[in-house]
Amino acid sequence: MDLSLFASAIATTAGLTPDVDVTEVLDANPLDFDHRYTYDKAGNLAKVENLTGPPVGEATVSPYVVREYTFTAKGARAGLSETIHGDDTLTGTATTGKTLTLTYDSADRPTDGYVYDVFGRQTTVPAADAPDPGKGNISLAYFDIDLPQEITQGDTTTTFALDVSARRLTQTTTTPTGTMTTTQHYADGSDNPAWVEL
């Protein structure tokens, strides 16, 4: 989970010129924050520092976690490296946390485990990027109008049916323990169902 989504105290760079070294400005008081963010000159999030995580090992304080990102020439995120200082200080003992390297094809689509059909739609999402990695890769199939028709991960498959207006009509999920179907009913021409039948 990207810690940048959960800020309780943010050090911003508002008003700084593009030539200012943002890191130098923000480091005036290195521990006076919960979360701290540094951006590169293109506006990309280059570093996240977090002091709110649970203690590591026998420590009694939150670790100082630093996540640094790299980007391609086109601005796509290319890599992540995470360093964890278990004793709450930047100069303390450091261990390596998460690392990630991303590559892209000529259409700027991620290629690490992703598979696409001839229309450029994702047909395989690697387990590493799935909400539940332990269940394996996600496989997807589509209707001719590009809406998802079937999603499968491990022993769970969800299929969708559309009405004549191409709105989602039913959703059926099949697992080893059984099958559950929900049906959406529409009262007008909008995409918002009036009620859902289980």
Residue 45: how many CB atoms within 10 A of its CB?
Answer: 16
80 and 69 in contact (C-beta within 8 Å)?
Answer: yes
Confidence of residue 140 (pLDDT cuts 50, 70, 90): very high
pLDDT the model gives residue 18: 41
* Phi, psi for 128 (deg, rounded to 5): -60, -25
Ranges 23-27, 63-67, 131-135: which has the least confidence? 23-27
Q: Of 66, 101, 136, which one is at a domain's C-terminal end?
A: 101
- Greater confidence (93 vs 125) lies with 125
Q: Check whether residue 46 and residue 8 sit in a common domain.
A: yes
**With 90 as the cut, is the pLDDT of residue 123 above it?**
yes
Tell me what the mean pLDDT of segment 1-23 comes to.
40
Confidence of residue 85 (pLDDT cuts 50, 70, 90): confident
Token digits of residue 12: 């911003």
Q: Under the phi-then-psi rule, with left for phi > 0, alpha for psi from -120 to 50, and beta for the rest, what region is 164?
A: alpha
Confidence of residue 183 (pLDDT cuts 50, 70, 90): very high
- Whether 174 is in a domain gets the answer yes
DSSP summary character for residue 61: S
Q: Of 51, 76, 101, which one is at a domain's C-terminal end?
A: 101
**With 70 as the cut, is the pLDDT of residue 57 above it?**
no
Q: Of 101, 124, 151, which one is at a domain's C-terminal end?
A: 101
Give dist(CA 166, CA 144) in Å, integer.
11
Give dist(CA 114, CA 120) in Å, integer.
11
Residue type, 17: T
Tell me what the mean pLDDT of segment 167-173 comes to.
97
Sequence-distant (≥ 6) Cβ neighbours of residue 161 within 8 angstroms:
168, 169, 170, 172
- Whether 106 is in a domain gets the answer no
Q: What angle do CA 29, 30, 34 make, to 5 degrees?
A: 105
pLDDT the model gives residue 90: 66
For the chain, how many structural domains are there in total? 2
Tell me what the mean pLDDT of segment 41-49 comes to.
92
- Whether 74 is in a domain gets the answer yes
Average pLDDT, the chain: 83
Print the domain residue range for 61. Answer: 3-101
